[in-house]
Amino acid sequence: MTIQKVMIIGAGQMGSGIAQVCAQAGLDVKLNDISEASYVKGVQTIAQNLSRNVVKGRITEDEKDIILQRLTKSLSIEDAADVDLVIEAAVENMTVKQSIFKQLDDITPQHTILASNTSSLPITEIAAVTKRPEQVIGMHFMNPVPVMKLVEIIRGLATSDEVYNDIEELTKKLEKVPVEVNDFPGFVANRVLMPMINEAIYTLYEGVASKEAIDQVMKLGMNHPMGPLTLADFIGLDTCLYIMETLYEGFGDSKYRPCPLLRKYVKAGWLGKKTGRGFYHYE
């Protein structure tokens, strides 16, 4: 199937990034959010990213304008009535995602593929609320989307080979690298990454070293571009906690138990960079 019209649900950090790479690839993109303010902020972020690319000589000003013209505002999920693909990038919550997919199942054409950018939740469970589970798939983009090359493509229990192949080809068109993974909690990226971050938080919690020291060890000793506590702030501590809880519940293994310090920070509203305070302070 040729995918040309796409709706992205959620104009936040992930959704706006996905919308940008889709528009850059020549797709017609409806960027949907329940909040007009969030939509405006998302488009502003895209415009700023593209302006940086103009300054760096990667695209021209005319190309930037053409990319932005491919974006259409959507404040209603009903606007999905004529698209070939929906990529949901809403909050990481199963109840919310199932509600969205149930509505999309009724609104979208029969051929439309329904994808989720979930970072940890089971695709099979999301697909179960639709009458087209064979057309539901996971597309887990990495943050920041315009920069990071990886997309984990997750098959649900019923996902068809045809749908998988269509999404794999689209991912390549977006100039990303598709990697197929199976439908287990956390998939590959977060099943490996989040326990490392959680262990770094335990290391801080137990007084083994300061946050700066922990990050320095991982940056200089393991050649990571940023330390795990800085990365947790960048991801959002609420997101980190939710993913750890998903892993803990999904596997029933105590090694995935979220650190009490992580819970405390989230309860305090110290969610990282987006709130100005997490393990570090931000202006």
- pLDDT tens by residue, 180-224: 999 999 999 999 999 999 999 999 999 999 999 999 999 999 999
* Tokens of residue 188, six digits: 């590959």
Model confidence pLDDT, tens digit, residues 130-183: 999 999 999 999 999 999 999 999 999 999 999 999 999 999 999 999 999 999
Residue 190 annotated among the catalytic residues of the structure:
yes
Residue 78 annotated among the catalytic residues of the structure:
no
Could you tell me the pLDDT band of residue 60, with boundaries at 50, 70 and 90?
Answer: very high
Q: Which residues pair with 8 in a beta bridge?
A: 31, 87
Residue 38 annotated among the catalytic residues of the structure:
no
Catalytic, out of 140, 160, 175, 180: 140
Q: Quick one: pLDDT at residue 254? A: 96
Catalytic, out of 16, 49, 117, 152: 152
Look at residues 116, 110, 106, 19 and name the one whose alpha carbon lies nearest to residue 69: 19
Domain architecture of the chain: domains with CATH = 5-181 (3.40.50.720), 190-273 (1.10.1040.10)
Residue 224 annotated among the catalytic residues of the structure:
no
Cα 16-230-115 angle, rounded to 5 deg: 30
Q: Quick one: pLDDT at residue 155? A: 96
Could you tell me the pLDDT band of residue 283, with boundaries at 50, 70 and 90?
Answer: confident
Q: What is the average pLDDT across 85-91? A: 96
**Which residues, other chains included, contact 98 with Cβ-Cβ below 8 Å and sequence gap of 6+?**
125, 126, 129
Which pTM does this prediction carry?
Answer: 0.92
- Buried/exposed 223-247: b ≥16 CB within 10 Å, e otherwise: eeeebbbbbbbbbbbbbbbbbbebb
Q: What is the average pLDDT across 256-282? A: 97
Q: Quick one: pLDDT at residue 208? A: 98
Mean pLDDT of the chain: 97
Q: Quick one: pLDDT at residue 220? A: 98
Q: What is the average pLDDT across 57-86? A: 98
Model confidence pLDDT, tens digit, residues 17-28: 999 999 999 999
Catalytic, out of 119, 245, 254, 281: 119
Q: Quick one: pLDDT at residue 109? A: 98
What is the rounded (10 degree) CA torsion for 162, 86, 28, 142?
A: -90
* pLDDT over 70 percentage in the chain: 100
Catalytic, out of 16, 32, 116, 190: 190
